[in-house]
Amino acid sequence: MTPSLLQKIADIRSDAPATRRAILDLILEDPDRVLEESFEQLAERSRSSVPTIMRTCRDLGFAGLREFKLALAQELALGGSPLHRRVNIEDAADEVVGKIARSAAASVSGVRGQLDMQVLDGAVAAIAAAPHVDLYGAGATSWFMANDLQARLFRLGLSANAWADYHLQQVAGAAQRPGGVVIAISHVGGMPSLLDAVDIARGQGAKVVALTRPGTALAAKADFLLGLSVPDDAVMHVGIDAYLTHLTVIEILTVLVAQRRGEPAVQRLQRAREAFQRHGIDATTHPLQSWDGGGVNDGGSAS
């Protein structure tokens, strides 16, 4: 039987140099806290350095702190409560709030380190220049995110459609053409019908942007892989960590595509905002700010 990661740490602790032993002790004492810490925070608490932490992770068989933390989080999730990988059944309400909030914040803060900037830039360039963008979601959560990104791209002036039905995904893929883009969103990344639709679109010359875990079947088909590794959830097939990290990437894509498309995209967003403020139900709480020095215009009352 393969020993657990924490057991492995306990086994090698006594033979480790003093500086690395301090790091191992902190992991054994409070592994949940280590999951939430950066290189610098862990180095400060252990009175060591970032290079020492890197060497410690490599001693344990990992490329770096991120890979180590992912393995540790998965081990804790398997051994944790069925409610949430960080929460114990007996935790008080304030502990539950704190643990879930810290877990979510740690997942979002880890997005930057997982994205390849060159790949991201290529994906943004392809989307911004595409004559048409199709978005595929597999499952309720992925479909919601595909629909959200479609609405964002449409506001920027892009021709974009989101498809949840597997047959329509394949029909849309067959209608793609060179220069077009398919954005496929699936944390699991193995739905056969989704993979078929991606293959069809690729066969028509479309580029594929995949938002999924590295190593999935979908990732292997991507021209631009926006790969995110997050710990497994104790309850949901796609948990809050995957959900929030994917939404963060969607926000990043939206902003970068808007920058790439320039002033016309900004003007479209401004016109949409003005329409909402003049006719939307929140007009009275979000007044239209005049940029010509005329102050605030209430844009009319909500009905």
So what's the pLDDT on residue 200?
A: 98
Q: What is the CATH number of the domain that holds 131?
A: 3.40.50.10490
Is residue 271, in this structure, part of any structural domain at all? Answer: no
Per-residue pLDDT of the chain (303 residues; tens, 9 = 90+): 345 888 888 888 888 898 889 999 888 888 878 887 888 888 899 999 999 999 999 989 998 888 888 888 777 766 555 566 667 677 788 888 887 787 778 778 788 888 999 999 999 999 999 999 999 998 888 889 999 999 999 999 999 999 989 999 999 999 999 999 999 999 888 889 999 999 999 999 999 999 998 999 999 999 999 998 876 665 555 677 788 899 999 999 999 999 999 888 888 888 887 877 776 655 555 554 444 545 445 444 443
CB atoms under 10 Å from CB of 117, counted, come to: 8
Residues 144 and 197 in one domain: yes
* Structural domain harbouring 44: 5-112
- What local confidence, expressed as pLDDT, does residue 269 receive? 85
Contact 238, 221 (CB under 8 A): no
Three-state DSSP at 9 gives helix
Residue 303 located in a structural domain? no
- Asked if 101 and 232 sit in the same domain, the reply is no
DSSP output for 15-48: TS-HHHHHHHHHHHH-HHHHHT--HHHHHHHHT-
pLDDT at 291: 45
CA-wise closest residue to 162 among 192, 207, 132, 191: 132
Token pair 């344990």: residue:
60
Residues in CB range of 160: below 8 A, 6 or more apart: 132, 133, 134, 135, 150, 153, 154
Number of domains in the chain: 2
Q: Which residues contact 242 (CB under 8 A, 6 or more apart)?
A: 141, 187, 228, 230, 233
Does a structural domain hold residue 17? yes
